[in-house]
Chains A and B, each alone.
Chain A
Amino acid sequence: MSDPDKIWPTGLTEREAEEVHSYLIDGTRVFGVIALIAHLLVAVSTPWLG
């Protein structure tokens, strides 16, 4: 509680919180690309548009 860097409620510092956030962002990007590829492949074998 005495450390002014700490952010409520997790007790992480700002730098630490940013790192946790970067994992979230990276994860979203990677899963986005994976989902895109998966959809493309499904569209190639069983087209659902047109």
Chain B
Amino acid sequence: MIQFRKFALSKIGRIAPRYLPFADVATEDLPLSRLLRLALFQVTVGMALVLLVGTLNRVMIVELNVPASLVGIMISLPLVFAPFRALIGFRSDIHKSALGWRRVPYIWKGTMLQFGGFAIMPFALLVLSGYGEAVDAPAWIGLSSAALAFLLVGAGVHMVQTVGLALATDLVPVEDQPKVVGLMYVMLLLGMIVSAIVFGALLTDYTPGRLIQVVQAAAVITIALNILALWKQEPRDRTRANSIAPVPEFREAWGVFVTGRNAIRLLIVIGLGTMGFGMADVLLEPYGGHVLDMTVAQTTRLTAVLAVGGLAGFALASRVLLRGADPIHVAFWGAVVGVPAFGAIVLAAPFHSVAGFVLGTLFAGFGAGLFGHGTLTATMRNAPREQIGLALGAWGAVQATAAGIAVALGGVMRDLIVAMPGSDAFAAEAPYVPVFALEIVFLALALLVAYPLLRRLAGPEQRAHYVSTETTDLAAKSVP
């Protein structure tokens, strides 16, 4: 009996930790399989984005007959949380937990928010559309619950992506960061493409029951993939868990973050470039259809062309960055490629050249890939080791806000020009050309702002100097 007890004890003692979500040690080299597993959180982010912006957008307008303006407002609600990414990232930097974790608790909370939002979303949408007995219910129930669902999912997505990227940056050595950035972008794209196809196929025969099944399946897949992504990834840090050093305030940490390292300039470049590349996203397909008389099948393939261009951009950026290229240079050349690409798209109308338009789209995607990869890698590389969450939060805040504003601005500009009195007399391309021209302007501005960065961050020893002064500065501030 005693023998058995001893045997059981030793067995359980050895097995139990295997079933706990802790990383054994902070291993020096991170196998690619573990990185791929971590990148699964980007798949759930992509899935949430497609569901909100693509699938539910259509279902709400076409099947549920919700007014388009209300749908637009609901879908843009998550954007409210985008600026808070910097704060979330900062909180995860200074998070103190007995377990010695700082990223996992936030990714877990974000996952729960995403799950909760998806869990109530289908019912909220059905009530919003006045399904069944909900016709007689007061309107505020549907409105507030749908808004709550979108806000929960949006907050969850921002949280998971910000802190997930910070965790990935924590785990890999500096020279491997380009690989991680490429992987993260590819997984996001993969999640979006696969879920768009799957959701589209599942919702072709729409029924309310099917809507509930699809959205709640997305909720379960989100939580499953995120647990899989998190499992045994973050090493526990006992010294951090037991440290009693006072933590800096957000304002203070931000002040340290923005001084010296051109952080603000880089953020402006990210904002301008993202606006420049993002405005046309929703206008390329109608432009091809209205102006160049492309068929629906052809315009749908445009999205694929844009994605292929983006993938090529990520691949090239990863390659040259791993060989030691400067990320700012890569981003700069991405914006440089974008200018003639949008020029080709504009010129496609007078020449009525579908080939020129498709080629322009391909290179716009390629430039966006280079630009996105370069700026994110630059953000990771410039971030002081204990401000990674804040740096990536600031990146995400600027990037998500700029992308949201860009899409809205592009759509509003097009609609305003269409609604102008006497707009029938305009050429078919009139509503689109100003948007594409504005994108070129934004890219040119981004290039202008980025130009000084090219020279200032030229030497690696100079960059190392910046980082080291910042870290000592922060350390000096956090010690009383």
Residues of chain A having any CB pair with chain B under 8 Å: 8-13, 15-16, 18-20, 23, 27, 30-31, 34-35, 37-38, 41-42, 44-47
**Nearest-CB distance from B55 to chain A (Å)?**
20
Instruction: Tell me whether B98 and A16 are in contact (CB under 8 A).
Output: yes
The residue in chain A whose Cβ has the minimal distance to the Cβ of B109 is A26
Q: Chain A nearest CB: distance from B49 CB in Å?
A: 21
Q: Once the chains are docked, how many angstroms separate the CA of A35 from the CA of B13? A: 36
Residue in B20, B98, B133, B134 whose CB lies within 8 Å of A19: B98
Complex contact B127–A45 (CB within 8 A): yes
Question: Which of B116-124, B451-459, B469-477 is the contact stretch?
Answer: B116-124
Task: Check A41–B132 contact: CB distance below 8 A.
Answer: no
Say yes or no for B126: interface residue by CB 8 A criterion.
Answer: yes
A45 touches which of B13, B97, B105, B133 (Cβ 8 Å): B133
Asked if A41 and B99 sit within 8 Å, CB to CB, the answer is no
Which residue of chain A lies nearest to B118 when distances are taken between CB atoms in the complex? A34
> Contacts A10-B20, A18-B98, A34-B119 hold; do A45 and B112 have CB atoms under 8 A apart?
no
Q: Tell me which residues from 87 to 117 in chain B have a Cβ below 8 Å from any Cβ of chain A.
A: 97-99, 105, 108, 112, 115-116
* A19 surroundings in chain B (CB, below 8 A): 97-99
Beyond A11-B17, A27-B112, whether A41 also contacts B124 by CB under 8 A is: yes
Contact between A42 and B123 (Cβ–Cβ < 8 Å)? yes
Q: Which of B16, B97, B99, B105 contacts A9 (CB 8 A)?
A: B16
**Chain B residues in 8 Å Cβ range of A31:** 112, 116
With A9-B16, A27-B112, A44-B137 given, name 20 new contacts (CB 8 A): A8-B9, A9-B12, A9-B13, A10-B16, A11-B13, A11-B17, A12-B99, A15-B98, A16-B99, A31-B116, A34-B116, A37-B120, A37-B145, A38-B119, A38-B123, A41-B120, A41-B145, A45-B131, A45-B132, A45-B134
CA A47 to CA B136, docked complex, whole Å: 12
Looking at chain B's contact residues, the main secondary structure is: helix
Q: Which residue of A lies closest to B242 (CB)?
A: A15
B141 within 8 A of A: yes
Chain B residues with CB under 8 A of A8 = 9, 13
B98 and A45 within 8 A (CB): no
**With a CB–CB cut-off of 8 A, which chain B residues contact A44?**
127, 133-134, 137, 141
* Closest partner residue, chain A, to B21 (CB atom): A20
CB distance from B141 to the nearest CB of A (A): 6
> Taking the nearest CB of chain A, how far is it from the CB of B238, in angstroms?
10
Report chain B residues within 8 Å CB of A12: 99
Task: Please give, as numbers and ranges, the residues of chain B lying within 8 Å of A10 by CB-CB distance.
Answer: 16-17, 20
Closest 7 CB pairs of A and B: A41-B123, A15-B98, A45-B134, A34-B116, A45-B132, A19-B98, A9-B12
* Min C-beta distance of A33 to chain B, whole Å: 8
CB distance from A10 to the nearest CB of B (A): 5
The interface residues of chain A lying within 8 Å CB-to-CB of B97 are 19
Measured between alpha carbons, how far is A25 from B20 in the docked complex, in Å? 18
A30, B98: Cβ atoms under 8 Å? no
Chain B's nearest CB lies how many Å from the CB of A42? 5
**Which residues of A lie under 8 Å from residue B134 when comparing CB positions?**
44-45
B128 to chain A, nearest CB (A): 10
The chain A residue sitting closest to B14, CB to CB, is A9
User: Using Cβ atoms and an 8 Å threshold, which residues of chain B touch A37?
Assistant: 120, 145, 148
Whether B99 and A45, one on each chain, are in contact in the complex, defined by CB atoms closer than 8 angstroms, is: no
Shortest distance between the CB of A20 and any CB in chain B (Å)? 7
Q: List 6 A-B contacts (CB under 8 A).
A: A8-B9, A12-B99, A16-B99, A19-B98, A45-B123, A45-B133
- CB contact between A30 and one of B16, B112, B132, B133 (< 8 Å): that residue: B112
A23 touches B108 (CB 8 A): yes
Chain B residues positioned under 8 Å from A46 (CB to CB): 132-133
Query: What sequence of 0s and 1s flags, for each residue 330-364 of chain B, a beta carbon within 8 Å of any chain A beta carbon?
Result: 00000000000000000000000000000000000
Residues of A within 8 Å of B17, CB to CB, are 10-11
Closest chain B residue to A39, Cβ basis: B123
**Residues in chain A near residue B20, CB distance under 8 A:** 10
Residues of chain B in range 201-256 having any CB-CB distance to chain A below 8 Å = none
A30 with B116: CB separation less than 8 A: yes
Q: Is the beta-carbon distance between B132 and A34 smaller than 8 angstroms?
A: no
Q: How far is the CB of A44 from chain B (nearest CB, A)?
A: 5
Query: Shortest CB–CB separation between residue B301 and chain A, in angstroms?
Result: 39
Shortest Cβ distance from residue A22 to the other chain B in the assembled complex, whole angstroms? 10
C-alpha gap A12/B145 in the complex (Å): 40
